[in-house]
Each structure stands twice: as structure tokens, then as C-alpha cells.
Amino acid sequence: MEMIILPLQTLWRIAGTLSRIFERIAIVANALGTLTVLGLVLVMNVDIVARGVFHAPFLGVVEIVIFSMVLIVFLQLPDVVRVDRLTRSDGFLVFLTRVFPTGAAVLKRLIDALAGAMMALIAYATFPEFQHALDTCHYFTPPEFGPDFTGDLWTDLKDATARCLYFGTPGVFTAPWWPVRLVITLSAGLCAVLFLFKTLFGADAFKNTVPGRKAGSAADG
């Protein structure tokens, strides 16, 4: 079988297209994180009004805040990586850029590669935790305890969710752990991919350009 070898420029174009796709995913995740913040603000304001006016606090606010904070951080983390706003000490890089730009660019790509490897390890390490939390629900397999499947989709879904490994205080607020652990795993994986593209493209990452060409050039048309 003859092996098909794509030209280097074509490979760069494919990588550039993929980078734009993952860029949009990061932006959407950031928007979902923002909506979570707005929802959290709404819950806290309802609690304030309920306490001050009706003397009936909204139960579970503390648990909801803790639960939401994890979601917010990991939903917005990929976009923070995308726009290069991840907290770091870059004083040495700023100095090196002024005196040795080429060396600084290489060092930045090396740092991005190491960061991407670390994020990939986090995704790899957290996936089994997500899988275990999901398996405790028995959405698709016969449960080890509790009521068996009834055949009614909504009833079976509620029963399965009640079996899940949960976070919170019983009788006050509980929520299954698997959505949060899924967000952590996917967020770390997406960050690893974004760091990969930053390693490949350097300063051109997520700028809709192909290395060696200017955006909007006649060659692109």
C-alpha cells in the first residue's frame, strides 16, 4: 500500500484549522463558566433576601458555592490558557525577550510543552475518578442496591442519580460528583491541546494564521 505524505504547508493548514476549532471550544467553555457565575450570584442574592425578609435562609448555599467554584475554575481555565493569562512569573522571559528574542521564543515553547504535558497527566489521572463516580450511578447497568430498572426513563434516571457518589450534606444539598470530575478531566485535556498548539505555532497560535504566511494573503485565497 502506497503511503500518502501530505506537504508540510498542508499539515500546517490542518493544524491551524484544528487550533481554531479548539479555540472556539475554549471560548464556549468560558461562556458556560460565566453563566455559572451569574447563576451563583442569583442563588446568593436569593439567600440574602430570604434571610433578611422572610427569615428563612436558602438551604445548601455553602455547598452550592463550593460545587460551583470548581466548575467555574475549570470551565474558564482553557480560555485563560488560550489568551495567555495563566498566572506565572515571566520577569526573566521579558528580560530575555529584549536581549535575545530567539532564545526567549524557544524557551516559551519549551515552557508551553512542559505545561501541556502536565495538563495531559492531570487529565489522565482524573479520568479514572470520573469513570468511578459515573459507574456508581449504574445508569446503564443493573444496580448493586436500591430499586431495579422500572422501564420508565424519568424514574430510572432519578433513581440512578440518587445512587451516584455525591457531594454535599444529605437532607440539605447533594449533587453527583461525576459532572464536576468530567469537567476537570475535559478541561485539563483541552488545556493540554491548547498548549500543544502554542508549542507548535508559538506567537501565531490562535491568530488564524499559517506559519510563513500573512493572514488574508492572496495565496490563501
Q: Are 137 and 181 in contact (CB under 8 A)?
A: no
Q: How far is CA 200 from the centre of its chain?
A: 21
Q: How far apart are CA 178 and CA 166, in angstroms?
A: 8
Distance CA 23, CA 30 (A): 11
Cell digits for 132?
Answer: 468511578
pLDDT value of position 218 = 32
Q: What is the pLDDT of residues 57-92, one digit of tens each?
A: 888 888 888 889 999 999 999 999 998 888 777 777
Would you state the pLDDT for residue 4?
A: 54
- CB of 174 closer than 8 Å to CB of 168: yes
Contact (Cβ atoms closer than 8 angstroms) between residue 142 and residue 148: yes
100-123 pLDDT, tens digit per residue, is 888 888 888 999 999 999 999 999
Task: Reduce the DSSP state of residue 109 to 3 states and report it.
Answer: helix
What pTM does this model have? 0.82
Q: What is the domain partition of the chain in residue ranges?
A: 10-208
Cβ atoms within 10 Å, residue 198: 24
**Average pLDDT by stretches of 10, the chain with 221 residues:** 60 81 93 94 90 83 87 94 81 82 87 94 96 90 78 84 85 87 96 92 62 40 33
